[in-house]
Amino acid sequence: MTIDLPLILDLLGVFFFAVSGSLLAARKGFDIVGSVLLGSMVGLGGGVVRDIVLNQGPPAAFSNQIYLVPPLAAALLVYFTVKNVKRSGRLLFMFDAGGLALFCVTGSLKALDAGMNPVACILLGVTTAVGGGILRDITANDVPKVFDPKDLYAIPAFVGAGLTTAMWHLEWLNLASGTAAAVVVFTLRMLSLRYGWHAPLAARSWAARRPRRG
Amino acid sequence: MTIDLPLILDLLGVFFFAVSGSLLAARKGFDIVGSVLLGSMVGLGGGVVRDIVLNQGPPAAFSNQIYLVPPLAAALLVYFTVKNVKRSGRLLFMFDAGGLALFCVTGSLKALDAGMNPVACILLGVTTAVGGGILRDITANDVPKVFDPKDLYAIPAFVGAGLTTAMWHLEWLNLASGTAAAVVVFTLRMLSLRYGWHAPLAARSWAARRPRRG
Amino acid sequence: MTIDLPLILDLLGVFFFAVSGSLLAARKGFDIVGSVLLGSMVGLGGGVVRDIVLNQGPPAAFSNQIYLVPPLAAALLVYFTVKNVKRSGRLLFMFDAGGLALFCVTGSLKALDAGMNPVACILLGVTTAVGGGILRDITANDVPKVFDPKDLYAIPAFVGAGLTTAMWHLEWLNLASGTAAAVVVFTLRMLSLRYGWHAPLAARSWAARRPRRG
């Protein structure tokens, strides 16, 4: 592994999640400062939790100032380019999926580099990927996307974290294969949204009354 | 203290809390993946916060894979056995009380073993016990149970953490006395629910208009 | 820097935020235990997150028992003195502003003493100052004050953290200048509430339909 792959993919993941946060801030009528803060919470929150769990000094988001660039860029992008806030829902889903795809790869990678066992690496990859989005949705008083039963969210993240961990142990992981894993996750997530792929409900007996996508 | 007492009681506490999380997931119409995730957040969240505060390397929930068994078992149990989701409220309260009872004991114990002072041990026991439930209820967009003024929640946890800390210093703590402390907590919590025992409201002047259990 | 300045200002900040938490607990109809817990979450939450990020052993709130005094005092104060809970909204805003003002100063200071770079110190000051209030409002199921577009909240905190960091590097920081920075933050926050000073909305196109203060 080179040092650059995780950083480039990680910053791109921060940017995608930060756009989703700034879009939600715009939809909720927050101001530009709230947009930067919510974008930062989504983009940096999952990674901060991961770095705190790995317990290897202050989280990268605080010690490395380059991590501040993506949330600021995302807030500016949303401020200047979003024409119709009410119709930005699909865009929000796409950027959220991009962040999910990149973070399950880079989250696992950081845990692998820190010498955690394979199961813990997969878990930390998934935690990094879903953590920021949970923070975003809780803060804006929504039920987190990861709990929406009408599509798949955590399963693509598990697939991506599993692929990354397996490829790392086989020494197949590089910029191309890491990006490919992220593309697989993104595609799975978007297809599940498009075609309504979903997992069984939490209680089997509840299934008959399952809410359907209108 | 042997090593096994905390682990056995801790895993049982994780299981009880995870069942409460999976039950809430079922009630909210989440899918089976959301059930595993919410169960994991409730069952493992309080302990992860405790281990991060103790600052002794990665939290047990990530480094020891046996902690994954209870949330998976809880999600399967809820999936296969819950017949009537709408009537599962009382069950949820019982499993939540079981988790509360065990975690205030094991949480204090971990802090005592880490050499914290007695007051910090009681606080960490209470934090472990109420932390997971706060995460669960916030995520599902409910006001946390610990803030419900119609019964006692944090007080039984303080009693359990205090008993554990006192018995540890007197060298009376073992599997039997630890379990007894948990039984006291569980009983206090359930009796407060049954008979509506409650603490005074946060402002004295508010008391006249106190909401009563229907 | 003497050791006492941060501790005195920090304890005062904990007290102010704890009063805001206990007032919100009273407004929501929580009991006295919930009042202590919510006050503790607001008063101690931001600092616990800061200390975990700094990664220098257990957070001060757990290891130093004097941090428990302000939340208990705040809950008692609210219990005995608040006559009309419904009219306590303005009081809540004032104590919240006091906590914000003191925590952006003491939060930056702790990060400076821990040897972080200036940008990280400003960020940690702001995180400490806004973190507790976000926890408070999420827990009570409100949208956090920091995201209210009708006034300024994070910008005064940035100003205070920036002043503190600059004065520390110029060796101008002492009890008087630190207190002055906090007074500037408090004044900015209260003036923005009084006169409706606000930042632009998160999306420029949204501005025409900006909600106005009734």
- Across the interface, whether the CB atoms of A147 and B65 are under 8 A apart is answered no
- Distant-in-sequence, close-in-space partners of B214: CB < 8 Å, separation ≥ 6: none
Region B147-157 average pLDDT: 93
Within 10 A of C115 (CB to CB), how many other CB atoms are there?
10
Tell me whether residue B214 is exposed, middle or buried, using C-beta atoms within 10 angstroms of its C-beta: 0 to 12, 13 to 18, 19 or more: exposed
ipTM (interface pTM):
0.88
Q: Is residue C28 part of a domain?
A: yes
How far is it, in rounded angstroms, from Cα A193 to Cα A180? Answer: 20
In B, minimum Cα distance to A114 occurs at B58
CA distance to partner chain B, nearest, from residue C114 (Å):
17
Q: Coil, strand, or helix at residue B62?
A: helix
Q: Is residue C68 part of a domain?
A: yes
Q: pLDDT-based confidence at C5, cuts 50/70/90?
A: low
- Across the interface, whether the CB atoms of B202 and C62 are under 8 A apart is answered no
- Across the interface, whether the CB atoms of A130 and B37 are under 8 A apart is answered yes
**pLDDT for the residue C84:** 83
Region A194-202 average pLDDT: 91
Q: pLDDT-based confidence at A179, cuts 50/70/90?
A: very high
How far is it, in rounded angstroms, from Cα A58 to Cα A64? Answer: 10
Q: pLDDT-based confidence at C212, cuts 50/70/90?
A: very low
**pLDDT for the residue A84:** 83
- Across the interface, whether the CB atoms of A152 and B79 are under 8 A apart is answered no
Residue B37 scores a pLDDT above 50: yes
In chain A, alpha helices (H)? 4-27, 32-54, 60-63, 69-81, 89-113, 118-139, 154-169, 175-195
Q: Would you list which residues of chain A are within 8 Å, Cβ to Cβ, of chain B?
A: 52-55, 116-117, 119-120, 123-124, 130, 134, 138, 141-144, 146-147, 149, 152-155, 198-206, 210-211
Domain that holds residue B146: 4-199
Output C207-214 pairs: Cβ under 8 A, ≥24 positions apart.
Answer: C210/A29, C210/C149, C211/A29, C211/C149, C211/C150, C213/C150
Q: Is residue C211 part of a domain?
A: no
A93-102 pLDDT, tens digit per residue, is 999 999 999 9
Q: What is the DSSP letter of A200?
A: P
Count helices and strands (H / E) in chain C. 8, 0
Region C166-177 average pLDDT: 92
Q: How many domains does chain A have?
A: 1
Nearest neighbour of B29 by CB, restricted to A142, A205, A211? A211
Q: Is residue C205 part of a domain?
A: no
- Across the interface, whether the CB atoms of B147 and C138 are under 8 A apart is answered no
**C-alpha separations of B130 from B5, B13, B40, B45 in Å:** 21, 12, 15, 10
The number of angstroms, rounded, from the C-alpha of A46 to the middle of its chain's C-alpha atoms is 8
Region A152-166 average pLDDT: 96
Nearest neighbour of A202 by CB, restricted to B25, B65, B139? B25
**pLDDT for the residue C2:** 45
Burial annotation C173-211 (CB, 10 A radius, 16+ → b, else e): beeebbbebbebbbebbbebbeeeebbebbbbebeeeee
- Across the interface, whether the CB atoms of C147 and A141 are under 8 A apart is answered no
In B, minimum Cα distance to C79 occurs at B203
Token pair belonging to C195: 């006169």
Please give the interface size between A and C, counted as residue pairs whose CB atoms are below 8 Å apart. Answer: 97
Nearest neighbour of B201 by CB, restricted to C32, C55, C139? C32
DSSP class per residue in A98-131: HHHHHHHHHHHHHHHHTT--HHHHHHHHHHHHHH
Residue B2 scores a pLDDT above 60: no
First to last CA, chain B: 46
Q: pLDDT-based confidence at B142, cuts 50/70/90?
A: confident
**pLDDT for the residue B108:** 95
Token pair belonging to A116: 């955690």
Region A45-68 average pLDDT: 91
Which chain A residues touch C135 with a CB distance below 8 Å? none
Residue A208 scores a pLDDT above 80: no
**pLDDT for the residue B214:** 39
**How confident is the prediction for chain A on average, in pLDDT?**
90
Region C127-140 average pLDDT: 90
Region A4-11 average pLDDT: 82
Q: Is residue B205 part of a domain?
A: no
Region A25-30 average pLDDT: 92
Q: To 10 degrees, what angle do helices C89-113 and C154-169 make?
A: 30
How many residues in total does chain C contain? 214
Burial annotation B66-83 (CB, 10 A radius, 16+ → b, else e): ebbebbebbbebbbeebe
Region C37-55 average pLDDT: 92
Nearest to C10, CA basis, from C187, C182, C188: C182
Q: Is residue B163 part of a domain?
A: yes
Nearest to A148, CA basis, from A202, A79, A209: A202
Phi, psi of C201 (to 5 degrees): -70, 165
Region C98-111 average pLDDT: 95
- Across the interface, whether the CB atoms of C28 and B123 are under 8 A apart is answered no
Please give the interface size between B and C, counted as residue pairs whose CB atoms are below 8 Å apart. Answer: 98
Region A48-66 average pLDDT: 90
Residue A213 scores a pLDDT above 50: no
- Across the interface, whether the CB atoms of B79 and A119 are under 8 A apart is answered no
B62-79 pLDDT, tens digit per residue, is 989 999 999 999 999 999
Residue A113 scores a pLDDT above 60: yes
- Distant-in-sequence, close-in-space partners of B56: CB < 8 Å, separation ≥ 6: B114
- Across the interface, whether the CB atoms of A29 and C149 are under 8 A apart is answered yes
Q: Is residue A209 part of a domain?
A: no
Q: Is residue B210 part of a domain?
A: no
- Across the interface, whether the CB atoms of C26 and B123 are under 8 A apart is answered no
Selected for mutation to probe chain C from B51, B54, B55 (highest C CB count within 10 Å) is B55
**pLDDT for the residue C51:** 92
**pLDDT for the residue C4:** 62
Q: Are A17 and A103 in contact (CB under 8 A)?
A: yes
Token pair belonging to C214: 């009734």
